[in-house]
């Protein structure tokens, strides 16, 4: 476990709630600047702060809920939190259900990989993705009774799926 992972794993609920509050203030200011309506929910679990933005009219958040936009906003929000707290943040941002949509997409990738394995492939590699997305993939793969591991470094880090044993 790296120092950053250990630090994040040992963060108290109070620290995670502080991260969530700072992130929510940052996102709220962004929504105001963009003249968008949205409600913000904050949660803390699994050593991370989770900030969700939703609106009664999903069209209000359509532009901000695109996967690349959410990733960029998440990084900017993490930087805002880090600037205020002095500590690296692993917060997760969800805009307009973007995380559920991404989880569904990852589920389809895992299903196609499983089909390749059933067709005789010895392994199936998925494209590079964030550590959070790789964690979701590892969970989805385990649910199917398959094995997965991360390979590569930095931006090329990806998940490889194999049959068990």
Domain 100-163: give its CATH superfamily.
R3H-like domain (3.30.1370.50)
CATH 3.30.1370.50 in the chain: give the residue spans: 100-163
Residues near 100 by beta carbon (within 8 Å), at least 6 away in sequence:
94
Taking a C-beta distance cutoff of 8 angstroms, is the pair 100, 78 a contact? no
Taking a C-beta distance cutoff of 8 angstroms, is the pair 103, 92 a contact? no
d(CA 152, CA 165) in angstroms, rounded, equals 22
d(CA 98, CA 10) in angstroms, rounded, equals 27
d(CA 85, CA 18) in angstroms, rounded, equals 9
d(CA 158, CA 160) in angstroms, rounded, equals 7
pLDDT in tens, the chain (165 residues): 444 444 544 578 899 999 999 999 999 999 999 998 899 999 998 889 999 999 988 777 888 888 889 989 999 999 999 999 999 999 999 999 988 888 999 999 999 999 999 999 999 999 999 888 999 999 999 999 999 999 999 989 999 999 987
Record: fold of 13-96 = GMP Synthetase; Chain A, domain 3 (3.30.300)
The string of pLDDT tens digits covering residues 106-145 is: 999 999 999 999 999 999 999 999 888 999 999 999 999 9
């Amino acid at each position: 476990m790296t120092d950053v992972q250990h630090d994040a794993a040992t963060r108290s609920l109070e620290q995670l709630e502080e991260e969530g509050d700072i992130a929510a203030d940052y996102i709220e200011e962004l929504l105001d600047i963009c003249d968008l309506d949205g409600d913000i929910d904050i949660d803390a679990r699994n050593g991370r702060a989770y900030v969700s933005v939703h609106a009664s009219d999903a069209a209000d958040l359509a532009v901000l809920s695109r996967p690349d936009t959410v990733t960029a906003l998440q990084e900017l929000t993490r930087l805002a939190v880090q600037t205020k707290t002095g500590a690296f943040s692993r917060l997760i941002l969800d805009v307009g259900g973007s995380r559920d949509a991404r989880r569904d997409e990852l589920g389809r990738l895992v299903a196609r990989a499983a089909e390749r394995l059933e067709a005789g492939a010895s392994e199936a590699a998925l494209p590079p993705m964030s550590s959070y997305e790789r964690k979701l993939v590892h969970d989805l793969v385990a649910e199917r009774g398959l094995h997965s591991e991360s390979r590569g470094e930095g931006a090329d880090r990806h998940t490889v799926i194999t049959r068990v044993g």
